[in-house]
Amino acid sequence: MKKIELHDYEIIFDDTLSSLNDFLSNHKYSKVFVLVDENTNLHCLPLLQNILSDVAIIETKSGEENKNIAWCEMIWQQLITGNADRKALCINLGGGVIGDMGGFAASCYKRGIDFINIPTTLLSQVDSSIGGKLGVDFQYGKNLIGLFRNPKAVFISPVFLKTLPKRQLINGWAEIFKHALIKNKDQWNKYKDIDILKDDVSDIVYESLLIKKAVVEEDPFEKGLRKILNFGHTVGHAIEAYSLENDKQHLLHGEAIAIGMICEAYLSVKKCGLKGEELNEIKTLILNYFPKHDISNYDENKLLEIISADKKNDRDVVNASLLSSIGNCGYDIPISREEILESLVFYKNV
Ligand SMILES: NC(=O)c1ccc[n+]([C@@H]2O[C@H](COP(=O)([O-])OP(=O)(O)OC[C@H]3O[C@@H](n4cnc5c(N)ncnc54)[C@H](O)[C@@H]3O)[C@@H](O)[C@H]2O)c1
Ligand SMILES: [Zn+2]
């Protein structure tokens, strides 16, 4: 059983999840609540039935559009109805939506109760379940209302990925690509040669998390270095927020970030000296798994407005995290509206 140790919690890689049993017996929680959505209730909760007896289930509705304050109110209501005191535990069993929202709801309830994450999507296993960023969406602002707080533990098992739809599996690869692009060229090179749908991802999840761990431990509150994890997210978050409001079938987080990474790799050439061949490499591999999405009818002024309102900016300057080469990323690089528009044109013409 592998572990990654962070300052105040562990990520436990445990196929059978028997270590969750030990965790629960070692911590004498007054009551255990398990937060699920309808999919993780159906597919994931039964896999834990031997371990999770005598727990209260709180079911939310899946989807980014439900990562909001209204659903938090429902969670708080159920915690109150279930008599949750400050020694209660919330287990977030699900993808990034459950993790971000459940962690946020738990952290606000009675000024904070413990929570643990059992991520059940590839994206949440490689990214959102660690690092302590919690929150919900508000108006056009992705994760606009939220806070930093770490889980008590994270349990990762490949068993959950078996029921994950293919689109969701590919979605998670956006963040795996991002981790390699910002910090590890060898990993990036390896990903060029594998079939991401066929190969076993357990080792990849582990190595990708090592990158995130190193970054978030050096800068837990995003004062500096941690901003490199936002590569692809300046443009990507705006595309995601816009798509959520306007597309009939909206883009998933990773799909929007894939577009953002291509745009920001273009900006990296202009602003940070990324080589043209590397831009090509990035574009080719990403498009291989995230085919070009038609953004020709997206309102560019609205996209710029969303980007300007992003919580990552200082005052009026839009700052991005850009690559100087594959494996090396800088941050706080100011980009102009014109440059952002140019990068969108680049994507439209790939
Ligand atoms: N906090 C962070 O640092 C961070 C980092 C990256 C992304 N995020 C957030 O994560 C969210 C995206 O997370 P996600 O991609 O996991 O999406 P998600 O939580 O919406 O899950 C995707 C879908 O898969 C279903 N599902 C989950 N596990 C399943 C399983 N094992 N079998 C079958 N279906 C399953 C869910 O019900 C949902 O319909 C976004 O809100 C994004 O902002 C947060
Ligand atoms: Zn992301």
pLDDT at 250 (0 to 100): 94
Is there a single domain that holds both residue 185 and residue 152?
no
Domain that includes residue 268, residue range: 166-348
Is there a single domain that holds both residue 97 and residue 198?
no
**CATH number of the domain that 150 lies in?**
3.40.50.1970
pLDDT at 341 (0 to 100): 97
Q: Are 300 and 341 in contact (CB under 8 A)?
A: yes
The rounded distance, in Å, linking the Cα atoms of 288 and 284 is: 6
The rounded distance, in Å, linking the Cα atoms of 327 and 247 is: 33
pLDDT at 315 (0 to 100): 66
Is there a single domain that holds both residue 313 and residue 275?
yes
Query: CA dist 52 to 46, 118, 163, Å?
Result: 9, 13, 20
pLDDT tens, N- to C-terminus, the chain (350 residues)? 899 999 999 999 999 999 999 999 999 999 999 999 999 999 999 999 999 988 999 999 999 999 999 999 999 999 999 999 999 999 999 999 999 999 999 999 999 999 999 999 999 999 999 999 999 999 878 899 999 999 999 999 999 999 999 999 999 999 999 999 999 999 999 998 888 887 789 999 999 999 999 999 999 999 999 999 999 999 999 999 999 999 999 999 999 999 999 999 999 999 999 999 999 999 999 999 999 999 999 999 999 999 998 766 666 789 999 999 999 999 999 999 999 999 999 999 99
Q: How far apart are the CA of 28 and the centre of ligand 2, in A? A: 34
Percentages helix, strand, coil for the chain (3-state, rounded to 5) are 50, 20, 30
pLDDT at 311 (0 to 100): 65
Task: List, chain by chain if needed, residues with CB within 6 Å of any ligand 1 atom.
Answer: 37, 39-40, 43-44, 62, 64, 67, 94-98, 100, 120-121, 123-124, 127-128, 131, 133, 143, 160, 163-164, 168, 171, 253
Counting beta carbons within 10 angstroms of the beta carbon of residue 294, is it exposed (0 to 12), middle (13 to 18) or buried (19 or more)? exposed
Number of domain units in the chain: 2
Is there a single domain that holds both residue 177 and residue 50?
no
Is there a single domain that holds both residue 170 and residue 49?
no
| Residue nearest atom 38 of ligand 1, based on CA coordinates | 62
- Residue 333: phi, psi to the nearest 5? -100, 115
The rounded distance, in Å, linking the Cα atoms of 152 and 44 is: 20
pLDDT at 321 (0 to 100): 98
Q: Which contacts qualify for 186-192: CB closer than 8 Å, 24 or more apart?
A: 186/327, 187/211, 188/326, 188/327, 191/285, 192/281, 192/285
Q: What is the pTM of this model?
A: 0.96
Helical (H) or strand (E) element with 58: strand 56-60
